[in-house]
């Protein structure tokens, strides 16, 4: 299956993904991204993960997200998806902490850099986790056994932060403990019921296509400027989001972006 050719990706299942969801999806390092940052060389791979909401009887109710993640042997990571409005969003994160958040439909992006201290701390946490066979440093994490997903060995972990909910993770040691599967479960009586699952639709172990990490020569803006450009293309939501700089945490994202630039 050609992962790059599958363009029908939509992120978050939200109409306002580029105004609200994008501040999380692109503006921050998510849990998944934090697991694959490690000292080069990393084992390269490309995976498309589909998130499904499940009904009470365990059947898929709705696909809420499709995201392709590509990890290169030099530690570069790319996350790629499309909003329902058709806006391609891509985050290219380099091993030294620099990143570019790109919205191709707008021909715009914003750049930033995670501090060297944060990168080093993330690498050290992952190094320790790899040494423990991918078991997280958490008193709530329990090893549940081993399995294989699309030909890759995984370690199954249950993380139970509350008595009423837990997360089942399938972490791949050969892919730097990347979570190939995630399942959210809620307690029902004496048992557990899955309410959401994230699992791979396709996986390729090997160097991803190099064009995925190419950063175009678009103007580099601040995050809320990107949001305003998007609102001009989608006037139907203007009344709900009058000023992106004051909505959905974009002002905080602007401040963080300025700090990263040394302003």
Whole-number pLDDT of residue 178 = 93
Cα separation, 84 vs 77, in Å, equals: 23
Whole-number pLDDT of residue 23 = 39
- Residues of the chain under the 50 pLDDT cut: 1-40, 263
Going by C-alpha positions, the residue among 212, 187, 233, 258 that lies closest to residue 78 is 212
Cα separation, 90 vs 27, in Å, equals: 11
Strands 165-172 and 178-188: antiparallel
Whole-number pLDDT of residue 35 = 40
Whole-number pLDDT of residue 231 = 77
Whole-number pLDDT of residue 59 = 74
Residues 6 or more apart from 241 whose CB is under 8 A from it?
A: 16, 19, 20, 227, 231, 247, 248
Over the stretch 38-60, which tens digit does the pLDDT of each residue have? 444 568 999 999 988 888 777 77
């Amino acid at each position: 299956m050609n992962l790059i050719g599958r363009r029908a990706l939509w992120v978050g299942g939200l109409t306002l993904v580029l105004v609200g969801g994008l501040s999380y999806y692109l503006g921050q390092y998510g849990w998944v991204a934090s697991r694959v940052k490690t000292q080069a060389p990393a084992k390269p791979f490309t995976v498309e993960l589909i998130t499904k909401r499940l009904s009470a009887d365990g059947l898929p109710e709705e696909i809420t997200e499709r995201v392709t993640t590509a990890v290169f042997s030099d530690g570069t990571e790319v996350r790629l998806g499309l909003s329902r409005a058709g806006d391609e969003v891509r985050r290219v994160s380099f091993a030294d902490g620099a990143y570019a958040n790109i919205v191709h439909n707008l021909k715009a992006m914003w750049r930033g850099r995670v501090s060297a201290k944060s990168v080093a701390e993330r690498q050290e946490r992952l190094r320790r986790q790899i040494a423990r066979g991918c078991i997280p440093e958490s008193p709530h994490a329990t090893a549940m056994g081993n399995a294989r997903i699309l030909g890759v060995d995984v370690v199954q972990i249950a993380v139970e932060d509350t008595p009423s909910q837990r997360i089942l993770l399938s972490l791949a040691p050969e892919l730097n403990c990347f979570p190939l599967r995630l399942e959210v479960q809620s307690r029902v009586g004496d048992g557990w019921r899955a309410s959401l699952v994230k699992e791979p639709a396709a996986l390729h172990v090997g160097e991803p296509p190099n064009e995925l990490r190419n950063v175009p020569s678009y103007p580099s803006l601040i995050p809320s400027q990107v949001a305003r450009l998007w609102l001009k293309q989608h006037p139907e939501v203007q009344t709900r989001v009058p000023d992106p700089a004051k909505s959905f945490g974009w002002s905080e994202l602007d401040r963080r972006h300025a700090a990263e630039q040394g302003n």
